């Protein structure tokens, strides 16, 4: 009996779906649903060259109506594919203070020092994306009073245009890597970033879990 009921509900569901499709097709042919989407520009654009919808006439042919579903899918895909900066700028509360190379900054139980900057970083095993250069910084983190974690992923390099860049695999040794430092221990290593060719550098930033603000470890402008 259970199997028979399942088959019965499956048949009813199929009938309802078929009726729904027929209803949509009828509505399109009556002009109650705009089937002209397939004739529009699907790319999202803003500014002076913004796309203007065209083909808003009613009474489209059944052939045009069948393209509606495909056009909607393509439009959604185009919008989803719109690129935004991979790392949006983060508020920084200490950027006004100049932090020169070699100076020490204490944050969250750690003492940070940037010793040198290689701009560009000498070429190595890992290649650089076309149009970019690789910048490497040698940094030391020292635990000053408690156990702390360290990670190359906690740093961002902000360029002169305000764009922030996340880490790239460094060609320099030793690498900064990730781990835990006990009080009094320190870690020194290199971290690298890819920055557009011809764009100046502004600051190396530290991001901390649970905090909105980032802090400048060293200013490079």
Work out the angle at residue 207's Cα, subtended by the Cα atoms of residues 205 and 209, and round it to the nearest 5 degrees.
175
Residues linked to residue 201 through DSSP beta bridges, in sequence order? 159
Work out the angle at residue 135's Cα, subtended by the Cα atoms of residues 133 and 140, and round it to the nearest 5 degrees.
170
pLDDT exceeds 60 at position 120 = yes
The fraction of the chain above a pLDDT of 70, given in percent, is: 57
The SS3 call for residue 176 is: coil
Inter-residue contact 153 to 166 (CB < 8 Å): yes
Average pLDDT over every residue of 39-60: 33
pLDDT exceeds 70 at position 218 = yes
* Predicted pLDDT of residue 10: 72
Distance, first Cα to last Cα, the chain: 79
Q: Strands across the sheet with 104-107, in order?
A: 104-107, 110-118, 132-143, 186-196, 167-168
Inter-residue contact 60 to 35 (CB < 8 Å): yes
Provide, for the chain, the percentages of residues in helix, strand and coil under a 3-state DSSP scheme, each rounded to the nearest 5: 25, 30, 45
Which range among 58-72, 142-156, 169-183 shows the weakest confidence by mean pLDDT? Answer: 58-72
Q: Rounded to an integer, what distance in angstroms lies between the CA atom of residue 15 and that of residue 23?
A: 12
The fraction of the chain above a pLDDT of 90, given in percent, is: 49
SS (H, E, C) 179-206: EEECCCCEEEEEEEEEEECCCCEEEEEE
Helix and strand element counts for the chain (H, E):
3, 11
Inter-residue contact 82 to 44 (CB < 8 Å): yes
* Predicted pLDDT of residue 171: 96
Residue found by looking up tokens 């490497």 in the block: 136
What is the per-residue pLDDT across 76-107, written as a single tens digit (0 to 9) for each? 333 333 333 344 444 444 444 688 999 999 99
Average pLDDT over every residue of 166-184: 96
Per domain, the residue ranges of the chain are: 2-80, 104-219
* Predicted pLDDT of residue 145: 87
Inter-residue contact 85 to 196 (CB < 8 Å): no
Q: What confidence tier does 11 reach under pLDDT thresholds 50, 70, 90?
A: low
* Predicted pLDDT of residue 73: 39
Q: What confidence tier does 213 reach under pLDDT thresholds 50, 70, 90?
A: confident
* Predicted pLDDT of residue 37: 33
Q: Considering the chain, what is the average pLDDT of its residues?
A: 73
CATH number of 104-219: 2.60.40.1240
Strand segments, DSSP code E, in 85-177 are 104-107, 110-118, 132-143, 148-151, 155-159, 164-165, 167-168
pLDDT exceeds 70 at position 51 = no
């Amino acid at each position: 009996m259970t199997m028979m009921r399942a088959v019965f509900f499956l048949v009813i569901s199929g009938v309802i779906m078929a009726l729904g499709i027929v209803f949509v097709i009828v509505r399109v042919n009556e002009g109650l649903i705009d089937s002209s989407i397939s004739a529009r520009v699907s790319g999202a654009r803003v500014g002076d060259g913004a796309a203007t919808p065209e083909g808003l006439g009613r009474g489209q042919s059944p052939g045009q109506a069948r393209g509606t579903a495909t056009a909607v899918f393509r439009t959604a895909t185009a919008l989803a594919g719109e690129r935004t900066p991979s790392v949006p700028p983060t508020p920084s509360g200490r950027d006004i203070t100049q932090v020169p190379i070699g100076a020490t900054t204490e944050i969250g139980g750690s003492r940070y020092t940037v010793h040198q900057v290689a701009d560009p970083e000498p070429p190595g095993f890992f290649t650089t994306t076309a149009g970019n250069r690789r910048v490497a910084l040698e940094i030391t983190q020292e635990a000053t009073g408690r156990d702390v974690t360290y990670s190359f992923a906690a740093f961002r390099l902000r360029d002169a245009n305000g764009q922030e860049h996340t880490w790239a695999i460094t060609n320099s040794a030793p690498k900064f890597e990730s781990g835990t430092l006990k009080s009094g221990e320190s870690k020194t290593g290199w971290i690298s970033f890819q920055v557009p060719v011809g764009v100046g550098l502004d600051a190396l930033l530290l991001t901390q879990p649970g905090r909105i603000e980032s802090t400048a470890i060293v200013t490079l402008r």
